[in-house]
Amino acid sequence: MVIRLAESLELPLRERNDLLAAAGYAPAYPQTPLTGPALAPVHTALKHILAAHLPYPAIVIDRHGDLVAANDAFGLLTGGAAPELLEPTANVYRLALHPNGMAPRIVNFTEWARHILEGLHAEVLRNPDDQLTDLHAELEQYVPDQPAKPGHLGFAVPLQLRAAEGVLRLMTTITTFATAVDVTIAELKLEAFLPADQATASILSQRTRDAPDQAANPHESQPPRHP
């Protein structure tokens, strides 16, 4: 009955386990390390998906936005970021908005920052979490209190990023494991960056062909962190 109630409420698996514990039952949904042997097929599948998305950037993050894996093209977006923001425990939200991260290269920083902050705020409301709450408070300090420019939106919030060849215009998609019954897998998000115009597609394709080593990302096989 507890499980049926949690399913009806569409609670995340982590909260379903908490509800079961509150009712005096053992957790029903396992939380397996991503690099463990039981999830080897998932880890392999993620690496294949990331590689197949080349020459465009793609990443996998956990529920706190910590980087789990990335394809080689992601390094093209993070050029110039401070090394400490790119360490194995890198948080992609902090990397995007920190003044020593990607922020100086983001043309539409106010709009993109608002997009990230609103997403985090909505996630905190759905699934209260102290770490996410603290992260949201930190990131707010990096964002100027400026109104959005009129007509800044098209069919999606773009990421406009300065590059040597010009401004990259990217849109993003989010993929999750909809049928997952393991907490670790259910909380993973695969974010893919897609070119919003032909100029961006050409730049990314050319840079990946010309300098594959410069795009290498040190976080490709890092496991997610779990509090």
What value does the mean pLDDT of the chain take? 84
> Pseudo-torsion of CA 54, 39, 94, 121, nearest 10°?
110
Do 92 and 80 share a domain, yes or no? yes
Question: Is the confidence at residue 208, as pLDDT, over 80?
Answer: no
pLDDT in tens, 117-159: 999 998 888 888 899 999 999 999 999 876 656 554 444 678 9
Least confident segment among 67-81, 128-142, 172-186, 193-207: 172-186
Do 17 and 49 share a domain, yes or no? no
Do 63 and 99 share a domain, yes or no? yes
**Do the domain assignments include residue 82?**
yes
Which pLDDT value is given to residue 146?
66
Do 180 and 103 share a domain, yes or no? yes
* Exposure string for 18-38, b = 16+ CB within 10 A, e = fewer: ebbeeeeeeeebeeeebeeee
Number of domains in the chain: 2
Do 198 and 99 share a domain, yes or no? yes
**Do the domain assignments include residue 80?**
yes
**Do the domain assignments include residue 145?**
no
Which range of residues forms the domain containing residue 25? 1-30
The string of DSSP letters for 4-29 reads: HHHHHTT--HHHHHHHHHHTT---SS
Would you place residue 218 in the very low, low, confident or very high pLDDT band (cuts 50, 70, 90)?
A: very low
Do 97 and 171 share a domain, yes or no? yes
- HSE (CB half, 13 Å, CA atoms) of 135? 25
Alpha helices, H only, 53-187? 92-97, 109-126, 130-140, 183-186
Integer angstrom CA distances of residue 214 from 13, 44, 104, 143, 210: 39, 24, 20, 29, 9
List the CATH number of the domain containing 190: 3.30.450.180
Which pLDDT value is given to residue 200?
94
Do 2 and 91 share a domain, yes or no? no
Do 44 and 62 share a domain, yes or no? yes
Do 26 and 37 share a domain, yes or no? no
pTM value? 0.81
Q: In terms of Cα–Cα distance, which of 103, 136, 135, 112 is closest to 193?
A: 112
Which pLDDT value is given to residue 150?
57
For residues 5 and 19, give the distance between their C-alpha atoms in angstroms, rounded to a whole number: 10
Do 23 and 43 share a domain, yes or no? no
pLDDT in tens, 55-109: 999 999 998 999 999 999 998 899 899 999 998 889 999 999 999 999 999 999 9
Do 21 and 37 share a domain, yes or no? no
Count of residues making up the chain? 227
Do 92 and 57 share a domain, yes or no? yes
